Amino acid sequence: MTGELNPAQHRSPLVCVVVQGWPRTTTTFVAQELVGLEETGLRLWLATYGPTDKVTHALHDRLKAPVHTLGDPFRQPARLIGAWRKVRKLPGYSRARALFSEDLAHGMTRRRVRAFARAILLAGEMPPGVGLIYSQFIHSATSIGRFASAMTGLPLAASAHARDIWTAPEWDKRAKLDSMEWCTTCTASGADHLAQLAGKPGKVKLVHHGLLLDRFPRNLPKHSARDGSDGDDPVRVLSVGRAVEKKGFDILLDALAQLPKKLNWRWNHIGDGALLGRLRSKALELGIADRIEWNGAKDQSAVIEFYRNSDLFVLPCREASDQDRDGLPNVLMEAQSQALACLSTNFSGIPELIEHDVTGVLVEPGDRDALATALARLISRPDRRATLGKAGFHRVRSHFRAETGIEQLARMMRDSAIEFA
């Protein structure tokens, strides 16, 4: 899409959404939220600046909003100069320059300069009628949104998630929160952390993502009674997630290698990521490579089939060495929506979804031995897996419906947006 609005769309208010890349298969919660917001009647205009994925989900096709690509402004000097000539005349441009100078006082970086340049493109090319700027993640997307908000005088709001919360410096988060009308986040730990940095009480709101359940089969699937005793029909273990440190897949490989030889299992991994080659090599070193299938990125329909035909879902999340972490991984909710028993860690927002030994099993992050013990028990006990899977199925469908959070978010957007005649 070119980012152009047709004449029928020139009604107000309109929400400008700043998002790193569109479409991205690793952030289906973003796509789900945007599609849901449109279905409440809100109109969106997406401004993107990062890479996109070749594999997409059917969910992405449901979004009606125009998508406006900012790209790398350093490679588009004529476009940048044209936007700057327009934006420099705005009353808020000097305020935006002052905010930019405050950021640069903490260090001149290419990322900060690029964010300001992209904000110039955004402010200069934004369609008429926009009443609110809303950024997904409070890293670069909110830097762009914050500068554009200052230039245009439009209110700013944002949604924070995981890495953007825990890896950004506190001064940066404070400054951005001060510029916002409100900020939502998807875990209690993230909300508590940001609330301590926000100057205004009540500015930070906890809004769980949940699931748009119309994306998933509604019937309760019947999972197998495999117990690991049959070498010709091993227990099917599944993980979905990028091969990055915070997912803990290296720990999972160690745990799988510790399992008793008599247990028959097969692990399927779905996802790409920078550490994929290293994980493959580790599996070879551990002598378990012949029990593993690396499936790469898959579209949503294929992932759902894996959920429905697997026996156990495992995601051993932990804090990465750079302090990156997950919030509440949507793949856990997706697996539970298909009654697939889940094994994860007592970390970040995961206990907000999974109650240990009731709707799933949790071990401490980084504990290979505990993970191996839990794996062995669940692989050998199909009755236990079935009980946990059914409990998770009902928990997700009763407490984690995305519509609840989306309706709350839509009300906040309508209350904050400037309306134009």
Burial label for 222, CB within 10 Å (0-12, 13-18, 19+), is exposed
Give me the amino acid identity at 6: N
Looking at domain 7-210+401-416, its CATH superfamily turns out to be: Glycogen Phosphorylase B; (3.40.50.2000)
**Do 117 and 126 form a contact (C-beta atoms < 8 A)?**
no
Strands 265-270 and 235-240: parallel
Query: What pLDDT shows up at residue 26?
Result: 78
What's the pLDDT score for residue 7? Answer: 40
Assign domain 214-399 to a CATH class. alpha beta
pLDDT value of position 310: 98
3-state secondary structure of 78: helix
Per CATH, 7-210+401-416 and 214-399 having the same topology is answered: yes
What is the token pair recorded at 359?
A: 């709707």
Q: What is the DSSP string of 388-413?
A: HHHHHHHHHHHH-BHHHHHHHHHHHH
Specify the pairing of strand 156-160 against strand 342-345: unpaired
Burial of 127 (0-12, 13-18, 19+ CB in 10 A): middle
Q: Give the pLDDT confidence of 123-134 residue by residue, as tens digits.
A: 999 999 999 999
Identify which of 41, 38, 44 has the alpha carbon closest to the alpha carbon of residue 130: 44
- What is the reported pLDDT for 170? 96
Q: What is the pLDDT along the chain (421 residues), one digit of tens a residue?
A: 345 544 434 444 799 999 998 988 878 889 999 999 999 999 999 999 988 888 777 888 999 999 999 999 999 999 999 999 999 999 999 999 999 999 999 999 999 999 999 999 999 999 999 999 999 999 999 999 999 999 999 999 999 998 899 999 999 999 999 999 999 999 999 999 999 999 889 999 999 989 988 889 988 888 899 999 999 999 999 999 999 999 999 999 999 999 999 999 999 999 999 999 999 999 999 999 999 999 999 998 999 999 999 999 999 999 999 999 999 999 999 999 999 999 999 999 999 999 999 999 999 999 999 999 999 999 999 999 999 999 999 999 999 999 999 999 999 999 999 986 5
Dist CA 320 CA 275 (whole Å): 13
pTM: 0.87
41 touches 14 (CB < 8 A): no
Please list, in sequence order, all residues whose beta carbon lies within 8 angstroms of the beta carbon of residue 46, skipping any fewer than 6 positions away.
Answer: 3, 17, 19, 22, 34, 63, 65, 66, 67, 68
pLDDT of residue 161: 92
Question: What is the share, in percent, of the chain residues with pLDDT greater than 90?
Answer: 86
| pLDDT tens for each residue of 32-63 | 999 999 999 999 999 999 888 887 778 889 99
* pLDDT value of residue 53: 81
The ranges assigned to domains in the chain are 7-210+401-416, 214-399
Residue 214 confidence (pLDDT): 86
Residue type, 53: D
Tell me how many degrees the CA angle 47-50-51 measures, rounded to the nearest 5.
125
Percent of the chain as helix, strand, coil, to the nearest 5: 45, 15, 40
182-185 and 156-160: which strand pairing? Answer: parallel
Q: What's the pLDDT at 389? A: 97
Could you give the angle at which helices 93-104 and 140-152 cross, rounded to 10 degrees? Answer: 150
